[in-house]
Amino acid sequence: MIYLDYNATAPVRPQVIEAITGALADHGNPSSVHGMGRRARGVVESAREILAAMVGTVPETVTFTSGGTEANTLALRGAAGHCDVLMVSEVEHDSVLAAAGAMDLPLTRFGVDRNGVIDLAALDDQLSACAGEGRRPLVSVMLANNETGVIEPVAEIARLVHDVAGGLVHTDAVQGLGKIPMSFCALGVDLMSLSAHKIGGPPGVGALVVRDGLPLVPVLAGGGQERGRRSGTENVAGIAGFAAALEALEGEAGLAEQLGAWRAAFEDRLRAWAPDCVIFGADADRLANTTCFAVPGLTGETQVMALDLGGVAVSSGAACSSGKVTRSHVLSAMGADDVLASSAIRVSTGWNTSKDDLDRAAAVWSRHYDRWAGRNRPQAAAG
Ligand code: PLP
């Protein structure tokens, strides 16, 4: 099977499995004062240092969570008390939209252009209106979109939110981690969510970075772990696996460039084979590992099935919720009509992808396209 669904979850790296196995074999509770507990504490704190260094912050600002969903929920619920209104972009991940929708604060949304990029002028107007009414916003905007790979101008947005409305900014950086250079300090945000399983770490581990000095109301209360921000015995093995995945990123300096070149060749091939193929966000800055495309009327579901039968795993629509076939709110926000949005599939690559994987995927897809289009022509070669 060729796996091209890294934005859903990346294959777990061998060194991560090793780190997890090692930590599981050494079973102390990080809150225990005996030697085994202190060793477990060491694992957690060393992972915190590695993560902090990787994302340009200090260890004290890092809170480990059970993943990106919990980090997003903690960010919004935990910081809501500082603000009077919530503002989220229309292309946020479901975990942000659901958390925002379940809160008592008034909620407004801000949109994107046809390329999926936040409309800064419209956001500026909304922020000015907020400031005019004396309301302080908590703004949530993702660093990179899970469906299209489009990268948002988060640093500019953070500046606007702080300068125009004195608000707080949260960024869901789950898809940005390891794919683009990013620094909590340089982005200038107040809160940032991360997840391990998008970079070849284990699922079920993530982190929330919280600006120093910003009080946060915990969602999980109890033993007071993680400086009281997130109670519950730490997932030591998962955290060790997260750290191992982060360390592996250090040896992958040229990967994004490589994946970007392969994606460009893949997209050229799609366009040549199917001139009616639309590539979402093609004119925006995108993660090098992601392409989301559609041929109007060729449904995403049948493409995913045809590719699966051909030995290639990809996603249709919002892949984090694979299995439920709903129209993508992201593509709708970008102006795609129902037919186009339901025809989209996403191919996403990563640390273990080869050029041959993409060539073979393109060949399987071309065959499916031709069958659908009723064409009969010599098949694309795999290479
Ligand atoms: N945010 C984004 C942008 C995602 O792609 C995902 C993917 O699942 C999440 C949040 C949720 O992260 P997790 O699966 O770790 O809960």
By most ligand atoms within 8 Å of CB, the mutation choice from 64, 73, 93, 143 for ligand 1 is 93
Q: 174 in ligand 1 pocket by Cβ < 6 Å?
A: yes
Cβ–ligand 1 distance for 61 under 6 Å, the answer no
Query: What is the band of 379 on the pLDDT scale with cuts at 50, 70, 90?
Result: low
How far apart are the CA of 170 and the centre of ligand 1, in A? Answer: 14
Check if the beta carbon of residue 45 is closer than 8 Å to that of residue 52. Answer: no
Q: How far is the CA of 321 from the centre of ligand 1 (A)?
A: 10
| pLDDT at res. 319 | 43
Question: Which pair of tokens denotes residue 148?
Answer: 């299209």
Q: What is the pLDDT of residues 356-378, one digit of tens each?
A: 999 999 999 999 999 999 876 65
pLDDT at residue 344 in the model: 96
Q: Is 320 assigned a catalytic role?
A: yes
Q: What is the pTM of this model?
A: 0.96
Report the C-alpha dihedral over residues 247, 193, 334, 107, rounded to 10 degrees: 180
For residues 196 and 246, what is the distance between their CA atoms, to the nearest angstrom? Answer: 8
CA separation, residue 304 to residues 24, 301, 314, 321 (Å): 37, 5, 6, 14
* Average pLDDT of the segment spanning 246-254: 95
Q: What pLDDT was estimated at residue 73?
A: 98
On the question of pLDDT at 383 being above 50, the answer is: no
The amino acid occupying position 357 is D
* Nearest atom (ligand 1) to Cα of 142: 3
pLDDT at 323 over 60: no
pLDDT at 106: 96
Task: Give me the mean pLDDT over the 108-117 stretch.
Answer: 97
Long-range contacts of 374-383 (CB under 8 A, 24+ apart): 380/269, 380/273, 382/356, 383/356, 383/359
Please tell me if the CB atom of residue 95 comes closer than 6 angstroms to any atom of ligand 1: yes
Ligand 1 within 6 A of CB of 142? yes
- Whether the Cβ atoms of residue 345 and residue 303 lie closer than 8 Å to each other: yes
- What pLDDT score was predicted for residue 242? 98
The mean per-residue pLDDT over the stretch 79-93 comes to: 97
Tokens 């790979």 found at: 149
Query: Quick one: angle between helices 94-101 and 68-79, nearest 10?
Result: 30
Predicted local distance difference test score (pLDDT) of residue 324: 58
Taking residues 269-291, report their average pLDDT: 97
Average pLDDT score over residue span 123-151: 97
Distance CA 375, CA 278 (A): 19
Of all helices (H) and strands (E), which one includes residue 22?
helix 14-25
131 exposure class (CB count in 10 Å sphere: 0-12, 13-18, 19+): middle
Q: What is the pLDDT of residues 33-46, one digit of tens each?
A: 999 999 999 999 99
Give the pLDDT mean for 189-198: 98
Structural tokens at position 314: 């990809």
Which pLDDT belongs to residue 325? 62
Question: Residue 39 corresponds to which tokens in the numbers above?
Answer: 């060793």
Q: Is 315 in the pocket of ligand 1 (CB under 6 A)?
A: no
Average pLDDT estimate for 183-194: 98
Choose among 315, 382, 379: nearest CA to 354: 382
The pLDDT assigned to 326 comes to 75
- Average pLDDT in the chain: 95
pLDDT of the residue at 196: 98
φ, ψ of residue 85 to 5 degrees: the values are: -150, 145
Residue 153: is it exposed, middle or buried by C-beta count within 10 angstroms (0-12/13-18/19+)?
middle
